[in-house]
Structures are given as C-alpha cells and as structure tokens.
Amino acid sequence: MAGPMQMYVYIHDAILRDVAEMEAIARELNRDDPEEIAALSERYDLFHTLVKKHEQTEEDVLFPAMNDRIQFVAETYLYDHNDSDEHMFADIAAAYEALGRAESKGDRKESARALWREKAVLNESMRLHISKENELLLPHMEAEFDVAEQAELAGAMAGMVEPAMMGQFVAWIYAGQSPPDREGMIRFLQMIVPEEAFTGITGMLSGMGDAEWAEMERRIPELAES
Ligand SMILES: [Fe+2]
Ligand SMILES: [Fe+2]
C-alpha cells in the first residue's frame, strides 16, 4: 500500500520480521552463554516497547476513528492487544526471568525450551494479528477515509511518538528492510518530517552502515548533496 499510511505498513513489516528472527535465535540459543541471552533479551525489550507504542497509537487514534464509521470492527483488534498483554507478553517475561534464575544444567535446558516455545507463540500470534490488520482492517480504512483523512490519522499517530522513540522506530525498521523499502521509507519521511528532524534521521541512518547508505545515496541522489 502506498499513501499516507505507508509508515504503518512498514512498522507491521518490522514487527513480523523481528518476531520471526527472535524465534529463530531462541531456537538456536546457547543457554550457557549469558551474553547471548542478554542480547536476545535486550532485543526483545526494544521490540516490546515499540510494539506497545504502536498498539497505543492504534488504540488512541486509528481504532476510535474506525469505530465511528464501522461499529465493532476496532473492538476485535483491541481484544487481541489486551489478550496478548495478559497471556503472551507476561509469559515471555516469566520465561526470561526463569532462564536468568536457572542454575542447574537441567533447569537451563528446560527454561531455554520454554523461552523458545513462547517466542514461537509470539511469532504466530503476531503474524495472525498483523495479517488481519493488513488484510482486513486497512482495506476498510482506505474505503472509509479519503487521502486527506488518512494523512490526518497518520499524522496523529506519528504525533504520539516522542522524538527519541521516533529515532528508535526508524532505526529498527531500517535495519531489517530491503533497499527498495528503505528508499520508500526515506522518501516518505522526507515528505512528512520537518527538514531539521529529517536531517537528524538521515544522519543516524547513514551511521548504520556505509555500504547500505551508499546504496541509498545512489537511489536518492539529493541525500548525497545535503
Ligand atoms: Fe494491533
Ligand atoms: Fe498494528
């Protein structure tokens, strides 16, 4: 989907990529290496923070707007958010905690398995929720709201994210994107973000890898000029 809600779709892509990769890492996790466990746990913490923010923007802006036009649609998506807090996210936190506490070899093995199981649950339930938002909710949204209204919604959602977290969001999305999607996101941000903030974002992204950034400058020549 192109248009004002493009960033919303990029965020969904990033969520799907991250949960799939975290499941793969949890499957191969060296349970005797505290650094490896800490790295995965840190990655998960960032994911959790960004996903909760994303859900908050849906709950405060997108869902109420949808509900004004189509009753009962938003409620079903909110139900997923609340359910995942109570079950999945709480269970994952418990699994990390148990792995941190496990002392014997047997306990570590069991906790690492439990963590992998929870990551698989996270992957599958996020896949279902986000597919529903992409394939059922978004087409309704596009049918109900004209482009100006969509831009207003997207602006209100972005406005809920404080600048430091916006940087985290953009870096997180960029890190896993293909070059065409990176180009798409940068061009999109260039349209909607004030110039000064855009310069800050491109400065940050250029520091994430020289070869990747050279490719962006090739695709968007004006980046090299600034
Ligand atoms: Fe959602
Ligand atoms: Fe979502």
Question: Are the beta carbons of 110 and 61 closer than 8 angstroms?
Answer: no
Hey, what amino acid is at 219? R
**From the CA of 133, how far away is ligand 2's center (Å)?**
6
Phi, psi of 193, rounded to the nearest 5 degrees? -100, 140
How far is the centre of ligand 2, averaged over its atoms, from the C-alpha of 58 (Å)? 7
Residues 14 and 136 sit within 8 Å (Cβ to Cβ): no
Q: What is the pLDDT along the chain (226 residues), one digit of tens a residue?
A: 568 999 999 999 999 999 999 999 999 999 999 999 999 999 999 999 999 999 999 999 999 999 999 988 889 999 999 999 888 999 999 999 999 999 999 999 999 999 999 999 999 999 999 999 999 999 999 999 999 999 999 999 999 999 899 999 999 999 999 999 999 999 999 988 889 999 999 999 999 999 999 999 999 999 998 6
Tell me, in angstroms, the distance from the centre of ligand 1 to residue 46's CA: 17
What are the residue boundaries of the structural domains of the chain, listed by start?
1-161, 162-226
Neighbours of ion ligand 2 (CB under 5 A): 133
| CA separation for the pair 30, 110 (Å, rounded) | 13
Distance (Å) from CA 131 to ligand 2 centroid: 9
Q: What angle do CA 137, 185, 155 make, to 5 degrees?
A: 55
* CA of 85 relative to ligand 2 center, distance in Å: 14
CATH number of 1-161: 1.20.120.520
Q: Are 199 and 225 in contact (CB under 8 A)?
A: no
Distance 24 CA to ligand 1 centre (A): 23
The whole-angstrom distance between residue 96's C-alpha and the CA centroid of its chain comes to: 20
